[in-house]
Amino acid sequence: MIARTHDAPSITRFLDRVLPTVKMPAQYVGGETNQIVKRDADVRVALIYPDTYEIGMSHLGLRILYDVVNRMEGFAAERAFHPWSDMAERLRTAGVPLFSLETRTPLYRMDVLGFTLQYELSYTNVLSMLELGGVPMRREDRAHRDPLVIAGGAGSLNPELLGDFVDLFILGDGEEAIAQFLTAYREERDRHPSRRALLRALVDRCSFLYAPEFFEPQYGPDGKLLAVKPLDGVRLPRRAVVYDLENAPFPTKPVVPFVKTVHDRITIEIMRGCVQGCRFCQAGYEKRPQRFRSKEKVLELAKESYKNTGLDEIGLTSLSSSDHPDLPGMMDLLHAELGAQHVNLSLPSLRVNEQVLELPKRIKNIRKSGLTLAPEVASDRLRRIINKNILNQDLYKGTEEAWRQGWKTIKLYFMVGIPGEIESDLREIVTMAETCSRLRTKAGLGRPGKVNAAVSTFVPKPHTPFQWHGQMTLEQVRHRQMHLESWKSDRAVELKLHDAERSVIEGVLSRADRRVGKALEIAVRAGAILDAWDEHFDYNRWMAAFAEAGIDPAWYAHRMRDRDEVFPWDHIDGGVHKEFQWVEYVKSVEQRETPECQIGGCGDCGVGARNCVTIKALTGYFGYSMPKEKAKFREPKWDPFSEALPS
């Protein structure tokens, strides 16, 4: 039982005793370079990444919010992460609450607890951290003066799973929304006699806030959701959008961790949003419209960040960095300005297009450990289904150039379980990976190159065209993984297959309604914590939790949805309207592509052409003139897994 009698001095005494006995003790002490401590703030916010320090400290969104809040007069942002299992056990045994790093304030003494939701299997960590912090798990059990529990990020696109545990969800971009919300909170918190009244005042002032307390799920006799009904005249929430990315807040003095993190580098977001329209990609739809930072702005941020951190690698990140219209020029400018200081440039997984041929040449100054490309699928027919318009020849040309420039490893990202997938599509994954490997020999460079082919399992996500589709079963995924292994013949190619069981749980949680929250709580009580880590995940524990809660996981993960089915997230503005998503789903069944906005014109996805300031800052291009395609609302006549693989 976590005691509510602790303060910073008692927590310090606890740490003095236990730090020599736990793994990576530096993650619990705070005091890093560029940490900000504001002891006299009116409002104290704990920004929480519900995973370990080494994961959370790499997250750019957390860094941005930390900078935004601490720039506000009277507000303090502090950090908290989920402790590793050894420290969590010591906290529980001693009855000491989880605390912030900056001032070692127990979480239950903070004003606001703000969780970043990025991955479904971290949701149990949210509940675990509330318990460790001395805060009641369920929102109905919190008193008026308990911290407000808020959440944002990708997980807020379907907030219903956590609807019984989170007070408020911030929908959409966070930079401007967090400042508006906290200003409203400070003005309203002492005006209202109850927690419910405070929540109502906040949602009335901030259109991007979703309070589950004011929405009631209604179910039919067959178990399907009929509606999520707003109560007391509360309005439906709308996501917040930062339209001017060029001038948006960005941290150039981030906290420098004491320990090595997953991404131990400066990270600069060069673009937000993507209009390629890949039908599996939730972020591609939710983050519209597409916005860019100019190369001059990126250089300014890079130079300031390098001066303030000393980190010698800069990651240029976005959903699809190779689609930035001036990426080659940006990289040339950064290299010219920072190359003399031996600052390296890195890129995330790259979309395969004509720029892939040029990029290995332009980033030849970086450590050539590995170049990552994301073809996603390897056959033309699956590309038409998922609407990923790429060419094998671009991939192969870029790969051969990478070998010539001295790259040691090529990493390729693929998926299995795409709707409509057949045996020949899977065989193409192995063929593509082995072809990339042998291109090193073809280039006259000796032995085949090392290729790591990471193969994940497709999970249908809310607010995408595949939200109507069932996920492949565990047996079907294992069947495909077995065949991939058996087809591989090149020893220079390594297949890295994603855990099929974990994907099933992800599929259940990603499309869950509020009823599944009971299973989430049962799983936490049974020890389902830090489940993104292999050594902690237990599939059988999850199955037992679903059974105890009366939840059929197959009903959520594997069932096909009718066109008119109400989704648990239909009342949430995800950026693109449902009618457009349905048209895209039908086109996937018919293997028809939708060109990206710049090429095919505005398809009226719901964002609005006037708001689509695509490449405005760089080219002055504001809108599109081509008419939208007429919607063809009909049920697809298709059994997606009818063509079975050989046994």
Kindly state whether residues 264 and 211 are assigned to the same domain. no
Kindly state whether residues 143 and 278 are assigned to the same domain. no
Q: How far apart are CA 218 and CA 230, in angstroms?
A: 11
**Count of domains forming the chain:** 2
Q: Does residue 363 fall inside a structural domain?
A: no
Q: Does residue 288 fall inside a structural domain?
A: yes
Neighbours of 524 (CB within 10 A): 20
- Host domain of residue 45: 8-230
Q: Does residue 536 fall inside a structural domain?
A: no
Q: How far apart are CA 67 and CA 36, in angstroms?
A: 9
CATH of the domain at 319: 3.30.750.210
CB 568 within 8 A of CB 228: yes
Kindly state whether residues 74 and 171 are assigned to the same domain. yes
pLDDT, the chain, mean: 90
Kindly state whether residues 211 and 268 are assigned to the same domain. no
Residue 413 pLDDT: 94
Kindly state whether residues 203 and 262 are assigned to the same domain. no
Last residue of a domain, one of 179, 195, 230: 230
CATH of the domain at 190: 3.40.50.280
State the average pLDDT over residues 409-415.
Answer: 94
Q: Does residue 427 fall inside a structural domain?
A: no
Kindly state whether residues 279 and 203 are assigned to the same domain. no
Q: How far apart are CA 644 and CA 421, in angstroms?
A: 9
Kindly state whether residues 217 and 259 are assigned to the same domain. no
Kindly state whether residues 287 and 201 are assigned to the same domain. no
Alpha helix (H) ranges present in 240-348?
Answer: 282-286, 295-309, 327-338
Kindly state whether residues 24 and 165 are assigned to the same domain. yes
Q: How far apart are CA 248 and CA 79, in angstroms?
A: 22
Kindly state whether residues 275 and 217 are assigned to the same domain. no
Q: How far apart are CA 342 and CA 304, in angstroms?
A: 16
pLDDT range class, residue 365, cuts 50, 70, 90: low
> Residues of the chain with pLDDT > 70: what percent?
90
CB 313 within 8 A of CB 265: yes
Q: For residue 143, give Cα distances in angstroms to 45, 137, 149, 426, 577.
A: 18, 12, 12, 54, 37
Q: Does residue 237 fall inside a structural domain?
A: no
pLDDT value at 266 more than 90: yes
Q: How far apart are CA 578 and CA 576, in angstroms?
A: 7
Between 372 and 601, residue with greater pLDDT: 372
Residue 611 pLDDT: 59
Over residues 443-474, the pLDDT tens digits come to 999 999 999 999 999 999 999 999 999 999 99
Kindly state whether residues 54 and 105 are assigned to the same domain. yes
Indicate the range of 252-266, 318-332, 504-518 predicted with least confidence: 318-332
